[in-house]
Chains A and B, each alone.
Chain A
Amino acid sequence: MAVFTSMVYQNEFLADGSTDVNAIVRIDCSEAGAAGQTGVGDVGEIVIVDTSASMGLVNMQAAKDAAMVAVDTILDGTFFSIIAGNHRAYLAYPRVTSGPGMVRMSPQTRTEAKTAIAAFRADGGTAMGSWLLLARSLFASIPSLAGKHAILLTDGENHNESVTQLESSIRQCLGEFQADCRGIGIEWQVSEIRKIAQALLGTVDVIPSPKDLPRIFQELIARSMGRGVPDAQLRVWIPQNAQISFVRQVSPTVEDLTHRGTPVDALTATFPTGAWGDESRDYHICVRLPAKAVGTEQLAARVQLSTGPSILTQGLVKAKWSADAGLTTRISPEVAHYTGQTELASAIQEGLAAHAQGDDRTATQKLGRAVQLAAETGNAEATTRLGRVVDIDDPVTGRVQLKKNIDKADEMALDTASTKTTRIRG
C-alpha cells in the first residue's frame, strides 16, 4: 500500500496588511507497488509510433526496436495496444476493428505484437490529433482500467491537421490518459509536443540519436509500470473569501496547474497529478487572503493528495500576521528557489521563441536572464544547455551573446529541458 507524506515549506508570517501566502508543499510517495497490481484496478499501456514517411529507414528501424523493447517491458497482465500513426491512426495491435481494443500482455500477445511492429513501414504524413483520439477510444473500450498511460514518438510537425484540430483532440483527451512524448530528429516542434505532454500530465524530451530510442522507451515503460497509484489529485482547500493565485508543480518539472482545477465544493478544488510511483514532487501554492489583524493565525490552505474521496496526506499552509519585521521579511528559501526556477523556464522558452522569430535582441536579453537565474538557483544542467546556445560573458549580470551558429538540436534540447528544475541545495 502506497504511503504518502507531505512537508510544507513557507514563511507563514505576514506583515500587517499583507495578503499573499506562498508555500512549497513537498509530497513523497513510497511503497507505491507495481501498476495494476495494487488491487485498485487494471492499467493500460499504449505505444504510439510515428510511421510517417519522414521517419526514413534509420529512425523507423530504431522506432521498431524501441516499440519491441516497450512490449518486453510491459508487465504481464497489463492491457496494451500498439498504434501506428501517420496522417491517419491505425490500430497495429490487437488487430480488431470493434469491441475491446486492448488485450492483456502475455507471452503469446507479446509475440503477436512484435510481429505486428516488425511490419511497420515509413509512409504518409502526420496527424497526431487522430492518434490521440484513437488512444482515447482504445482506453475507453476497457472499463476496468484505473491507470492509463501512453508513450508517443514522433519525428515531425503535425502537417496534416490544423492547430485547432490538434487542440480540440488534446482537449478531448484531457483527464482520459497520461502521455509521455518524445521527439526524434530536429524536424518536430517542441512547443507542439509540449502542449500534448503538459495537457496529458506527461513529459517531453528530445531523443538525440536513434540508437538511444530503445533504452528511452524501456525507461518510460518501466517508470509507468512502477506507478502503483494510478490516479491522484492535488486537493486544495482555501478559506472563505480567499483566492488561489496559482498552483504549480515545480519539481521535478514546472507545470502550471492553476487553470486545471475542478471544484469539489465552494472552498475546495482538485488539480490532476496523474499516477504516482515511488517519487517526490513539489508544488508551489500561492493564496491571496483578506488581511487580518496582527496576531491572527489562520489556515491559508489545506493541500492534500487524494484518490477520489480518500485523503492520502495533508499539508497545512498557514498565515500569521505579525508586527515583527524580523519574522515577516524572511523569504522561505524553497519558495525563492522555485520562484527563480519557474522564471528560468519562462525565460528560456521566451528567449528561444524570440530567436525563432528572428528577434535576436529579445532572445539575447531573455537567455541572459535565464543564465543569471540558472546560476542563482544552482541549476548547472540548465547552465550547460544554455552555454551551447549563448556565449556567457558574465553569469552574475546575465551578459550573453547568441552563438553565431546555433545547432538546432542544442536549441531543442534546451527548450525541452527548460521545465526541469533542480531541488534546493543543502
Chain B
Amino acid sequence: MTLFNRGAPGVEWNPGDPEATQPQDPPSSNPHREDFTAYPSTCPACGGELGIDAYCLQCGQKAKSLREHFQLEPAEWVGAVCDIGISHARNEDAMACMAEGDRAVLVVCDGVTTSEDSDVASLAAAHIACELLWANNPQGTGTTSSREAALHGALTQAVLAANQAVIDKTNPASTNSAASTIAMTIVEKDAIYCANLGDSRVYWIPDNSQPLLLTKDHSLAQVGIDSGAGRAEAESSVYAHTITKWLGRDAVDLDPYLSTLRVTNPGWVIACTDGLWNYASEPTAIKELVDFLDHSSPLALAGYLVAWANEKGGHDNITVACARIESSAIPSVPLTQVVSEAMDVLDNPTVPVMAPNPTPISLDAPTVALNRSAQGTTQSDTEILATNDDNGRESGPTD
C-alpha cells in the first residue's frame, strides 16, 4: 500500500521528515530527551504495520512510544513494565532492572508531575542507580550484618549518584526543577535489600504467608500514618501525595529509608510507583491481585498489574517491577524483629475479591474490584530495619 507518497506535490504533511509527524507530547528542549520518540516496530494491539505517525495501518490504534510504554525481562525470574497510564500526557515514571543468576536489581522512579523534565530525571535516576548497584556488589567482612551494612551503603551511594544524574541531565535554569522519587531493591536468593526516597515502594508478596511493605514512604500520608491515622484515611487526604524527600536539584534530604528482609519462602518482590499502589496500597491488596492475576511469569504479572491499574482509571503513570524468589534451599537465619511485627498484619481481614467483570478489556486482563470499605485498618505494615530517622517535612512537591 502506497499511502505515503514521498513525491507528492505541495504536501504540508511530509512523511519524509519523521520529526514533523511524531506525536508532539514532550517538548524537545532537553537534549537528553532525544531518544524518547522511538516507537515499537509493530502495533502492540494487533501486530499490524505502524504508520509513520505511530497509528497502526491496520487497526488504527495509536502505539505508545518506547518512553510511554516499555518493558524489561533481564532474566526469566525478573520482569518489569513502565506505562504512561491513561490520564497523563507523558510518562514521567521510569524503571531499570538487571538480573543474572540469583541476583537482581530493580529500580523504579516516579518523576514529579509538576516539575520540568521530570521524565528525563526519572529515567536518568533509574538507569544510573541500577547500573551502580549492579556493578557494586560489596560482600562486607563475611557476616550477615556486615554484608547488609555494605549493601545499605551501596544503596545510599546509589541515591546520591541518581541525584547527581538528575541534576546533570535537567535544565539548571528551571524555576521548577526536575524531581523524582526512587525505590530500589537488591534481590538475592535469601534476602531483599531495599531503599527508597519519596513514595515509590517495594512489597514482598510471599506465596503462603503474610505480605509486607518493605519501604516507607516519605510523604505527608506517611506522616499521618506515623501519627496514628489509618493508612486508607491518610492516603486519601488531599496532601497525601505530597512527598517529603525527593531526588533533584532542590532535594533537601537524600537519606533513604533502608530495609532488609531475609526470606525462606517463595514469593514475589514487587517494586512499584503510586500509579499501582493508589489502587491497592495494603500489602494484602497487592497479594490478592497477584494471586488472582496471571502470574505465570514476572513480566506477565507486571503487565497485568499495569493493565489492572489502567482499568481502575490509570490516573497516574504506572510502573511495576517483579522478581520471583523460589523456595530457598538454605534454611535461613531465623527471621528477626521483622517477622514478629509482620505477624500483626496477619490479624487483618483479607480483602474480598469481587467476581471478574465479564466485559473484556485490553490485554485480556481479568478485572479485580477491591472493596475498600471492607478493608481493615492496618496500623503498621512492617517495621523492618529502619536505619535512619524520618522527619517528614511540611512542604514538598506533590508527586
Which residues of A approach B to under 8 Å, CB–CB? 1-6, 31, 237-242, 265, 267-268, 289, 292-300, 302, 304, 309-314, 316, 323
Q: Is B11's CB under 8 angstroms from A296's CB?
A: no
Measured between beta carbons, the chain A residues less than 8 angstroms from B3 are 237, 268, 302, 304, 311
Bound: A242/B56 CA distance, A: 14
Nearest CB on A from B382, distance (A):
33
Q: Is B310's CB under 8 angstroms from A295's CB?
A: yes
Q: Is B8's CB under 8 angstroms from A311's CB?
A: yes
Q: Is B58's CB under 8 angstroms from A313's CB?
A: no
Q: Is B10's CB under 8 angstroms from A309's CB?
A: no
Q: A265-B1, A268-B1, A309-B2 are in contact. Are A2 and B55 (CB under 8 A)?
A: no
Measured between beta carbons, the chain B residues less than 8 angstroms from A240 are 46, 48, 58-60
Write the chain B residue with the least CB distance to A321: B86
Nearest CB on A from B2, distance (A):
5
Q: Is A239's CB under 8 angstroms from B362's CB?
A: no
Measured between beta carbons, the chain B residues less than 8 angstroms from A265 are 1
Nearest CB on B from A179, distance (A):
27
Bound: A290/B57 CA distance, A: 16
Measured between beta carbons, the chain B residues less than 8 angstroms from A310 are 5, 7-9
Q: Is A313's CB under 8 angstroms from B11's CB?
A: yes
Which residues of B approach A to under 8 Å, CB–CB? 1-5, 7-13, 46, 48, 53, 55-62, 86, 310-311, 313-314, 361-362
Total contacts A-B at CB 8 Å: 86
Main secondary structure of the interface of B (DSSP, over half): loop
Q: Is A316's CB under 8 angstroms from B55's CB?
A: yes
Q: Is A298's CB under 8 angstroms from B11's CB?
A: no
Q: Is B311's CB under 8 angstroms from A242's CB?
A: no
Q: Is A31's CB under 8 angstroms from B58's CB?
A: no
Measured between beta carbons, the chain B residues less than 8 angstroms from A323 are 313
Measured between beta carbons, the chain B residues less than 8 angstroms from A298 are 55-56, 59-62
List, sorted by A's number, 23 A–B pairs whose CB atoms are closer than 8 Å.
Answer: A4-B10, A4-B11, A6-B12, A6-B13, A239-B60, A240-B46, A240-B58, A240-B60, A295-B86, A296-B362, A298-B61, A299-B55, A299-B61, A300-B60, A302-B55, A309-B2, A310-B5, A310-B9, A311-B4, A311-B5, A311-B13, A313-B11, A313-B13
Measured between beta carbons, the chain B residues less than 8 angstroms from A242 are 60
Nearest CB on A from B363, distance (A):
9
Nearest CB on B from A190, distance (A):
38
Q: Is B55's CB under 8 angstroms from A295's CB?
A: no
Nearest CB on A from B70, distance (A):
18
Bound: A114/B48 CA distance, A: 61
Measured between beta carbons, the chain A residues less than 8 angstroms from B310 are 295
Write the chain B residue with the least CB distance to A314: B13
Q: Is A316's CB under 8 angstroms from B53's CB?
A: yes
Bound: A333/B8 CA distance, A: 32
Measured between beta carbons, the chain A residues less than 8 angstroms from B61 are 239, 292, 296-299
